[in-house]
Structure 1
Amino acid sequence: MKPVLALTKGRVEKQFIQFLQERDFDVAPLLDKGRKLQVETDQFFAFFAKGIDVATYVEHGIADLGIVGEDILMEIQPDVFDLLPLPFGKCRFAVAGEPHSNKAFGKQKIATKYPNITTNYFRKQGKSVDIVKLEGSVELAPLLGLADDIVDLVETGNTLKENGLVVKEEMFSITARCIANRNSLKLKKAMLYPLIDSFKIEEVVR
């Protein structure tokens, strides 16, 4: 019996595979999976899903562990155990918009994929804002007049720059996280903890 690991498809998946390589895991099955959504390695079974679905699979016990962006955990707050940060998937939340646009009167309108994170952030500042929920290309919102500013993840800032937007306010930084199903962590300790320990950043010194 092996641990079942849910992996976020895309950039986080690639960074996690590189992370495993640095720890001398056999990652050939992960690299050679083609269009398969499930693979088996020497250490675990893995399947691939969108980040928000990874959290759901772990919460419901389909996966014992999951690799997911911290933004997902903050936004939907799944009932999982947030085990540890991982040294990749690093980016930051920021308020961004057109450089010379400042809301003088009325409530500020913010476009974002992250309404809960955005609402909580401004509430802690004592501000009430109107949220416009978008699923993609939030950079369009201030350019087309849908919102005054946006709240989004920023990694390099190139997308903002190419669309004439600037960071107005740095919010906080996030990373990828290793999460666990609460029951799995209790019932499968002997099987899970060696794998979890191998993910700890301090385990590898190079």
Structure 2
Amino acid sequence: MRGNEALVLALPKGRILQQVVPLLARTGIEIEPEFDNEHSRQLRFKTNIPNLDVIRVRNFDVATFVAFGAAHLGIAGNDVLMEFSYPEIYAPLDLKVGHCHMAVAGPPGLLAADEPTRWSHVRVATKYPEITKRYFAQRGVQAECIKLNGAMELAPLLGLCRRIVDLVQTGSTLKANGLVEIERIAEISSRLIVNRPALKTRPDEVGDWIRRFEEAVNHAA
């Protein structure tokens, strides 16, 4: 990273972004109007701050851009951080947005007939194979993970597997597809993440943004 280049803040697309935008406003960040154009194919945007640009990428990719130094800062759910465990990422701040939780879910009959303490081998559909394997391994259970990027709830319905591990916000999607939550794995929220080398080479700039976000979170509390 060149010390004179603009800092890059990676933002996640989708639901979380709607909750992040008010937080950005409280830090003093205003993004160019094209950012709000739903039909725009632009991915990098200027802000009202001369040395700060914003990129908009998928939630999982925020962590990758920050870990490899393409972005200096980012906002990502701790589900992403748990899945990838990048040592290059420092997560100094819980932003108190994007609240949900990660859970094991399956058909109601499975909950009634299957005691989790008796599991020895399970097949699970999930977007989070590393988290899933670690979670079950801690209980002495071998997890065979089927990687899916969406429509997780279809897996038990179509016989792909009996269990899924996914994020749950209200539980309405599970209910609509005839599934119930079996066990809760972790609470999830969005975090400010920082590239560790950037924090060392540009401590004043990056440190200032950490402080700004912390003040914005405290102001919202």
Q: Same fold (TM over 0.5)?
A: yes
Report percent identity of matched pairs.
40
- The verdict on how the C-alpha distance between 1:30 and 1:181 changes in structure 2, with shifts beyond 3 A counting, is farther
Query: Match for residue 62 of structure 1?
Result: 70
Q: Residues 32 and 130 (structure 1 numbering): CA distance in 2 closer, same or farther, change over 3 Å?
A: closer
Counterpart amino acid of 1:204? H
1:143 maps to which residue? 157
Q: Which amino acid aligns with 1:7?
A: L
Paired with 1:24 and 1:179, the residues of 2 have a C-alpha distance of 15
1:17 pairs, out of 16, 21, 24, with: 21
In 2, Cα distance between equivalents of 1:130 and 1:188: 43
CA RMSD of aligned residues (A): 2.1
* Ranges in structure 2 where 5+ consecutive residues have no aligned partner: none
CA distance in 2, matches of 1:4, 1:28: 12
Deviation at 1:108, TM superposition (A): 2.2
In 2, are the aligned partners of 1:197 and 1:203 still within 8 Å (CA)? no
Distance 2:31 2:157 in 1: 44
* Shift in Å, 1:166: 0.6
Q: Which residue of 2 aligns with 1:95?
A: 104
Q: Following superposition of structure 1 onto structure 2, how do residues 57-206 of structure 1 map, counting pairs within 5 Å? A: 57-78=65-86, 79-101=88-110, 102-103=113-114, 107-200=121-214, 203-204=218-219
Q: Tell me the distance in 2 between the aligned counterparts of 1:76 and 1:24.
A: 28
Q: State the SS of the aligned residue for 1:179.
A: strand
Structure 1 residues 66-106: Cα deviation after superposition (integer angstroms, max 9, x where no partner): 11111111112223112211111111011111101245887
Structure 1 residue 29 and structure 2 residue 32: aligned? yes
Equivalent pair of 2:120/2:142 in contact (CA under 8 Å): no
User: 1:32 Cα shift?
Assistant: 4.6
Structure 1, residues 99-154: CA drift from partner, whole Å, max 9, x if none? 01245887322111111100100111222222222121110111111111111100
Q: Distance in 1 between matches of 2:167 and 2:220?
A: 30
Residues 32/93 of structure 1: CA separation in 2 closer, same or farther (3 Å cut): closer
Separation in 2 of the partners of 1:138 and 1:114?
Answer: 11
- Look up the equivalent residue of 1:162 and give its one-letter code: A
Q: Measure how far apart 1:171 and its partner are.
A: 1.4
Give, in angstroms, the shift of residue 20 of structure 1.
2.0
The structural deviation recorded for 1:42 is 2.3
Aligned to 1:41: 47
When the two structures are superposed, what TM-score results if normalisation uses the length of structure 1? 0.90
Output one character per residue of 1:6-62: Cα deviation in whole Å (capped at 9) or x when no partner: 1111222221112223x2624352675422211111232101111222212111212
**Distance change (3 Å), C-alpha of 1:127 and 1:87:** same
Q: 49-58 or 143-152: which moved more?
A: 49-58
